[in-house]
Amino acid sequence: KAEAAERFLSDLDRSTKFLSETVNEYHRKLSTSIRKEFSTLSLAFLNMSKAIESDVHTKPLNTKLCESLTATGTTFRTVACIHSLQSEASINLQECLKEFTRLLPSTSNIISLAKAACLTVDELNRVSNNNSADEQKYCQSDVNRIQSGALIITRSVQAECNHIMSQIRNEWMNKIKDYLNEQARFYHQIAELIEKSAQSFQVN
């Protein structure tokens, strides 16, 4: 059981670090490279509007198109600004993940204690079952006392692991739900802005 708990906590530690690093990198890109891409896209539409507007021969006919292109450029500029702010929305989740990335490695010491207790009991049983007189080092009261102590240790370790998992369940259920809801609002807001720009291209 101690070895299974050790493997579980090791996998959980790696997965938590990976999720934390991925979320951090994703939001870093939102506020840097992805934001810049939308800024460049905004500039491209605004430049196109200015280029078409410079046509003196059909300028009156191009008014609608120029207005729509300008609106689209402005929309993508707004989207770029939204991306720069979106990185703040992940702070609660990031702090939660960082807390557990600090907490989980320390549990290895707790598991080591449980493993040591189990190994001690295993060795005690081996010695007790050995018929060699030279290895009859423990009386039954010693055996009972050591086994009882090991049981207390392993149960305490199991209780601590259960407590950690309880914290993870409660924190992650709430923090990840809030994070995903915020992501949904974020992309819904962008979708609404782009849909509004698309409507400006409709010909009456």
> pLDDT tier at 164 (50, 70, 90 boundaries)?
confident
Average pLDDT for residues 144-167, to the nearest whole number? 80
Residue 80 · residue 42 · CB < 8 Å: yes
pLDDT at 57: 86
> pLDDT tier at 108 (50, 70, 90 boundaries)?
confident
Q: What is the pLDDT of residues 61-101, one digit of tens each?
A: 999 999 999 999 999 999 999 988 776 667 888 888 888 88
State the architecture of 2-199 in CATH terms.
Up-down Bundle (1.20)
Q: What is the pLDDT of residues 2-23, one digit of tens each?
A: 677 778 888 888 999 999 999 9
Residue 13 · residue 105 · CB < 8 Å: yes
Q: What is the pLDDT of residues 115-149, one digit of tens each?
A: 777 777 777 777 666 655 544 566 667 667 777 87
| Residue ranges covered by each domain of the chain | 2-199
Distance, CA of 185 to CA of 112 (rounded, Å): 45
Flag whether the pTM goes above 0.85: no
- Percentages helix, strand, coil for the chain (3-state, rounded to 5) are 90, 0, 10
In whole angstroms, how far apart are CA 126 and each of 23, 105, 139, 142, 155? 50, 32, 14, 14, 22
Residue 78 · residue 38 · CB < 8 Å: no
Distance, CA of 194 to CA of 72 (rounded, Å): 8
pLDDT at 137: 62
Q: What is the pLDDT of residues 18-68, one digit of tens each?
A: 999 999 898 888 888 999 999 999 999 999 999 999 988 888 899 999 999
In whole angstroms, how far apart are CA 122 and each of 7, 44, 117, 128, 149? 20, 73, 9, 10, 13
Distance, CA of 16 to CA of 3 (rounded, Å): 20
Q: Phi/psi at 54 (nearest 5 deg)?
A: -75, -5
